[in-house]
Amino acid sequence: MSKKQVIGAILGIVLGLGVALMTPPEGLSVKAMWALGIFVWGVTYLIFEVAPDYIVTIAMCSMWPLFKTVPFITAFSFFADPTWWLMVGALGIGVAASKSGLLRRIALMVMKIAPATFKGQTLALMGAGVLIAPLIPSITAKAAICSPLSVGISDAMGYQRKTQGPSGLFAAMMVGFVCTGPSFLSASFLCYMIKSFLPKDVAAQFHWMQWFIAMIPWTIVLLVLSFFAIQFLYKPEEKDSLPAGYAAEQLAKMGPMSRIEKITLAVLLIGLLLWMTEMLHGIAAVLIALFGLVALLAGKVYDRPDFKSGIPWDAVVFIGTIVGISYVFPYLKIDKWMGVVLGPVLTPLVSNPYLFVGGLAVAIYLIRFVLVSQVATLTIFPVMLTPFAVQAGVNPWIVGIIVFASMNVWNVFYQNTTYLAAFYAAQGAVEHKHMVKLSVAYMIISLLGFLISVPYWQMMGLIR
């Protein structure tokens, strides 16, 4: 263990016991204090990365019934929740899209029709990212697969590595494939995590189409302003001309669509269409995802070893356990207590939606310099802020989506694991100091997108 991990391990135990042994304040029981103490222990271990996240949360959920704070079935309730199975099915479909080569083929097809210039290929990479975003619920997988694609285009255009040209194309890939993660429910498993934290009645509102509709203003602002920001920040010094027929040549190397690509494409298109029209036909999204997964397995698009290794089961288990908080806290009335305690202090801030939205985004930007874990960030703040957000008439989905979008920055190298996956997949074509400019631009653009969304959300009834 590193020095940081040793400090975190000791601090977690001290803080956890300190909270657990406190005299319960009015509104909380002894069991609630022990549950909170275990939660503080778990969060501390996540922040200091004392052990892998899924190990910490399995231990946390196991300690709740061990110390008789809640029944076992309550601590692990999310594994019987439709949202967990929806995530499993969607991730399973994403495995097929990644393995089959369909993702790369779609990206190349978009690039084929785009102008063979820096501006044209910037649009192509962003457009491909938007098309592919709702098909694969892992922004890390999409970034790792498509980062080399941006490098290939850069090399073909004759750009010298670690200069403006490759940096700009990499930036376009990041915007299209990574930054659009919050735009679609099915674009990231973290979106399913947000949904699972919502109160049941609120979660039921946010089917695929409702999520997409609510994110339209932010997504438009993101794409339009990011395009112009890339042209301003990364204008190539070299001549920007992609060789004629580059994308067609790459597609030709892939050959005709294989059987598994065709099956995968059919499942993806049918699944996406059914998700989008869930309100019309009434078939639950979880059933659509699971039947899609069954079709891919039955069609032998991938086999048992792929099923075991392709789906990130550690992440699936982690989410299933960390979301236990959303069951444990209401069971012990901790959420109501937090609303009563924090309400008088924080409700005045929420009463001004522009102040709340802007303040929360900026707070997450600053906190991410200290709180490195993205998942810990996405766990702590929605749980903490949901009770008083509800009291103030702000839909708690807004809290979750602002936290998700705002934590997706890479101002310093260690902040964002998805960015790191894309950066290393670029194999030295870009430098971090160049990509910080995009991170800062994204922070400004995302904040502006949320502020513009406020009156839109008010019209939708998400802010009263």
Write down the pLDDT at residue 90.
83
Judged against a pLDDT cut of 70, whether residue 247 lies above it is answered with yes
Mean pLDDT confidence for 123-144: 89
Rounded to 5 degrees, φ, ψ at 394 are: -105, 125
Tell me the CA distances in angstroms from 93 to 46, 269, 368, one per residue in order: 29, 11, 31
Write down the pLDDT at residue 232.
95
The count of C-alpha atoms lying within 13 angstroms of the C-alpha of 181, restricted to the half-sphere facing its C-beta, is: 30
Please list, in sequence order, all residues whose beta carbon lies within 8 angstroms of the beta carbon of residue 106, skipping any fewer than 6 positions away: 128, 131, 132
Distance CA 11, CA 184 (A): 38
Judged against a pLDDT cut of 90, whether residue 427 lies above it is answered with no
Using a pLDDT cut of 90, give the percent of the chain over it. Answer: 48
Judged against a pLDDT cut of 80, whether residue 238 lies above it is answered with no
* Most confident region among 209-223, 317-331, 342-356, 415-429 by mean pLDDT: 209-223
**Taking Cα atoms as reference points, which of 430, 361, 444, 366 lies closest to residue 398?**
361
Mean pLDDT confidence for 101-108: 84
Picking from 10-19, 303-312, 380-389, which range would have the lowest pLDDT averaged per residue? 380-389
Using a pLDDT cut of 70, give the percent of the chain over it. Answer: 98
Q: What residues are paired with 463 via a beta bridge? A: 394
Write down the pLDDT at residue 221.
98
Distance CA 35, CA 20 (A): 7
Distance CA 124, CA 56 (A): 41
DSSP H/E element including 205 = helix 200-205
> For the chain, what is the mean pLDDT?
89
pLDDT band at 249 (very low <50, low <70, confident <90, very high): confident
Distance CA 131, CA 418 (A): 19
User: What letter would DSSP give residue 414?
Assistant: T
Judged against a pLDDT cut of 90, whether residue 330 lies above it is answered with no
Mean pLDDT confidence for 146-158: 86
Picking from 67-81, 318-332, 436-450, which range would have the lowest pLDDT averaged per residue? 318-332
Length of the chain, in residues? 464
Extract the tokens encoding 53.
């996240």
Write down the pLDDT at residue 167.
95
Distance CA 372, CA 44 (A): 12
pLDDT band at 447 (very low <50, low <70, confident <90, very high): very high
Distance CA 221, CA 250 (A): 32
Mean pLDDT confidence for 2-8: 93
Distance CA 43, CA 58 (A): 12
Judged against a pLDDT cut of 70, whether residue 239 lies above it is answered with no
Helix 432-460 and helix 164-174: axis angle, to 10°? 30
Mean pLDDT confidence for 170-185: 96
Mean pLDDT confidence for 110-120: 87
Write down the pLDDT at residue 240.
67
Q: Which residue has the tokens 């990212």?
A: 129
User: What letter would DSSP give residue 80?
Assistant: G
Judged against a pLDDT cut of 80, whether residue 277 lies above it is answered with yes
Write down the pLDDT at residue 322.
79
Write down the pLDDT at residue 285.
85
**Taking Cα atoms as reference points, which of 92, 36, 13, 3 lies closest to residue 316?**
92
Higher pLDDT, 234 or 415: 234
Judged against a pLDDT cut of 90, whether residue 152 lies above it is answered with no
Write down the pLDDT at residue 343.
67
pLDDT band at 1 (very low <50, low <70, confident <90, very high): confident
